[in-house]
Amino acid sequence: MIAANTNSTDCLISPAISPALIEGNAKIAAPLKIGILASGSGSNFEVIAQAIQQGQLNAKIPVLIYNNPEAKAVARAEKYGIPSILLNHRDCKSREELDTKIVKTFQEYDVEWVVMAGWMRIVTKVLLDAFPNKVINIHPSLLPSFPGIRAVEQALAAKVKITGCTVHIAHLEVDSGPILMQAAVPVLPDDTPETLHGRIQVQEHKIMLGAIALIADRPPV
C-alpha cells in the first residue's frame, strides 16, 4: 500500500532514486545508446539530454525520431546538437510500415534501447521484435490503473486519492509490460486535468532518468 498526504504535493517513487544511482551511473565506461521517439513538446527528451550533457547519466542519444511535423521536440534536439528525423505516420499505409522505418533508422544509428518519451503512436511487433524487451514507455498513471488515452482525466473521473506515473517495458498490449519505476502523486480536492498533469509531469522527469540509469547500470544480456 502507498501512503501519501493528500493535502500536499508530496510524492513517493518506487524503487527509490538515490543520488548515487544517477551520479554513479555516469562513471560507467560504455554509455547506453538510446533512440528517442517523441510526438510533442519533448520535455522528457530534454530532461534526458540535459542529464547526459551534465554528466549525470551514462547514456548518449544518437538520434531523435518524431512523427509530428509541429513537434517542439525538434527545437530541443537542435539545442543539444542531436540529429532529428521526421517519420510522419500520415505518410505510411500502416503502423507496421512506420515501425519498419523507425527500426531501420535506429539500426543505422546503432541504437541499443528505445525510449518513447511522449510518443503518441501504438507500436507494433515490428519495433518490439527488433528491440526485444528494450523499448520503454512512460505513462501518466500508476499502471495497471488507467491505461490508454486521457489517463489523468480517467483518474479524476474515478475520484481516486492517488495517481502518478509509470516507466515500463513496452509490450504489444497498450500500456502493459514489466514496470521499471513508478511515482505516486496525490490528487488534491481542487485539481483540474491541467494542474494534476503538471504535478505528474514533474515526477515523470524524475522516474524517466531513474529508469534509464537502472538500465544503463545493468550488465549486457
pTM: 0.86
**Would you call 205 a catalytic residue per the annotation?**
no
pLDDT band at 216 (very low <50, low <70, confident <90, very high): confident
SS3 156: helix
Output the nine-digit C-alpha cell for 93. 499505409
pLDDT band at 12 (very low <50, low <70, confident <90, very high): confident
Maximum separation of any 2 CA atoms in the chain, in Å: 50
CATH of the domain at 199: 3.40.50.170
β 84-86/113-116 pair status = unpaired
Burial 44-82 (b: 16+ CB within 10 A, else e): bbbbbbbbbeeebbbbebbbbbbbbeebbbbebbeeeeb
Q: Are 63 and 111 in contact (CB under 8 A)?
A: yes
Which residue of the set 139, 168, 197, 205 is catalytic? 139
* Residue 49 identity: A
pLDDT band at 44 (very low <50, low <70, confident <90, very high): very high
Looking at residue 99, its pLDDT comes to: 98
- On the question of pLDDT at 208 being above 50, the answer is yes
The parent domain of residue 150 ranges over 12-216
Looking at residue 1, its pLDDT comes to: 29
Residue 1 domain-assigned (yes or no): no
Residue 161 domain-assigned (yes or no): yes
- On the question of pLDDT at 191 being above 60, the answer is yes
d(CA 103, CA 114): 10
Residue 49 domain-assigned (yes or no): yes
Residue 7 domain-assigned (yes or no): no
Residue 118 domain-assigned (yes or no): yes
Looking at residue 9, its pLDDT comes to: 53
Residue 173 domain-assigned (yes or no): yes
d(CA 170, CA 113): 12
- Domains of the chain: total: 1
Q: Are 205 and 165 in contact (CB under 8 A)?
A: no
Output the nine-digit C-alpha cell for 126. 515490428
Output the nine-digit C-alpha cell for 21. 544511482
Residue 3 domain-assigned (yes or no): no
For residue range 79-112, what is the model confidence (pLDDT) as tens digits?
999 999 999 999 999 999 999 999 999 999 999 9
Residue 126 domain-assigned (yes or no): yes
